[in-house]
Amino acid sequence: MLNKVILIGRLTRDPELRYTTNGIAVAKLNLAVERPQFNREREKETDFIDIVVWQRLAEICANNLGKGRLVAVDGRLQVRSYDDNQGIRRKAAEVVAENVKFLDWPKDRPNHQDSDNNKGDGFGSEISFNGDDIPF
């Protein structure tokens, strides 16, 4: 079986960083991803997808990303059930991120070639797919 999601899009808001009672970091992101085809009105449609990031990657995302930033997310789809405030059973679908790549630089920091944040993590690098990466 396979549960793999790869998305590229822009953040709709700043990441929300929280910590569990055990001190584990968790960040929530929301990603706007354009659909590849046009609708009947000849306009592109956009999906808004919830992303959950855990541990150190959650802290890195919260400290370095903001609304409008272009990112690639690689992870798995998770569907969970919960009871809302009125006691109604609801379902939520979200992507649990395994990797997040920063695909652009913040507008307030134009030159990042010598930045310490760019060393060793691969953030800001382009994503390249070979034939083995694409499942179709």
Per-residue pLDDT 10s for the chain (136 aa) are 999 999 999 999 999 999 999 999 999 999 999 998 888 888 889 999 999 999 999 999 999 999 999 999 999 999 999 999 999 999 999 999 999 999 988 776 655 444 444 433 444 444 444 445 444 4
Total residue length of the chain: 136
Write a three-state SS string for the chain.
CCCCEEEEEEECCCCEEEECCCCCEEEEEEEEEEEEEECCCCCEEEEEEEEEEEHHHHHHHHHHCCCCCEEEEEEEEEEEEEECCCCCEEEEEEEEEEEEEECCCCCCCCCCCCCHHHCCCCCCCCCCCCCCCCCC
CATH homologous superfamily of 5-118 equals Nucleic acid-binding proteins (2.40.50.140)
Prediction pTM value? 0.73
Q: What is the model's pLDDT at position 126?
A: 46
Per-domain residue ranges of the chain: 5-118
